[in-house]
């Protein structure tokens, strides 16, 4: 296994992110979200026009690869004064439990610290117990609880976690 993280620089890589999201979300959220909400959110968050705009607005998308094979992705960027946000961190289930998620978190922490941010925040679904444990293991602390109306009659019921940089 040769794990690397590389900046997305081509449109085809954003298409790869969307395909990975669809595959990973179907397993991650099958017991948490309805099929309708998953479809709605995947379109809302991973449509090429959305991810292209986010990149243009300063959000970094990076692929996590095993050799040349994309196995996951991260995205992060500016959020508030002194605060960066980890928008997405998803990894193919075949690669869970191997320290790759923690490696990706350390990467984002290092990048955002080097960019001068004081805090890194993220939202995690309150029912996503595996992700919550991983974030807590990596030094993230509960910051607040939020319930966000995302349209279409759907809500994101999340914990917000924060890591001091």
- For 31-40, the CB contacts below 8 A with 24+ separation are 31/127, 32/125, 32/127, 32/128, 33/125, 36/154, 37/152, 37/154, 40/150, 40/151, 40/152, 40/154
Q: What are phi and psi of 59, to 5 degrees?
A: -80, 130
Query: Which pLDDT value is given to residue 36?
Result: 96
Digit-coded pLDDT (tens) for 87-119: 999 999 999 999 999 999 999 999 999 999 999
User: What is the spatial distance between Cα 155 and Cα 73, in angstroms, rounded to a whole number?
Assistant: 24
Query: Which pLDDT value is given to residue 134?
Result: 95
Best CA proximity match to 33, nearest among 132, 134, 157: 157
The yes-or-no verdict on residue 1 having pLDDT over 80 is no
End-to-end CA distance of the chain: 29
User: What is the spatial distance between Cα 1 and Cα 116, in angstroms, rounded to a whole number?
Assistant: 32
Q: Are 58 and 77 in contact (CB under 8 A)?
A: yes
User: Interhelix angle for 48-56 vs 35-46, to 10°?
Assistant: 40
pLDDT band at 149 (very low <50, low <70, confident <90, very high): very high
Residue percentage of the chain with pLDDT more than 90: 98
Digit-coded pLDDT (tens) for 8-52: 988 899 999 999 999 999 999 999 999 999 999 999 999 999 999
């Amino acid at each position: 296994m040769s794990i690397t993280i590389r900046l997305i620089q081509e449109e085809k890589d954003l298409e790869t992110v969307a395909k990975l999201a669809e595959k990973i979300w179907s397993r991650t959220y099958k017991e948490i979200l309805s099929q309708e909400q998953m479809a709605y959110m995947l379109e809302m968050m991973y449509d090429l026009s959305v991810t292209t705009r986010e990149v243009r607005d300063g959000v970094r998308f990076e692929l996590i690869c095993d050799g040349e094979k994309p196995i996951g992705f991260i995205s992060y960027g500016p959020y508030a004064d002194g605060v960066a946000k980890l928008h997405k961190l998803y990894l193919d289930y075949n690669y869970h439990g191997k320290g790759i998620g923690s490696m990706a978190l350390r990467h984002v922490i290092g990048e955002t610290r080097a960019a001068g941010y004081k805090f890194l925040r993220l939202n995690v679904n309150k029912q996503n117990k595996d992700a919550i444990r991983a974030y807590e293991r990596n030094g993230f602390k509960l910051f607040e609880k939020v319930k966000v109306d995302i349209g279409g009659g759907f809500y994101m019921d999340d914990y917000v976690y924060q890591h001091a940089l």
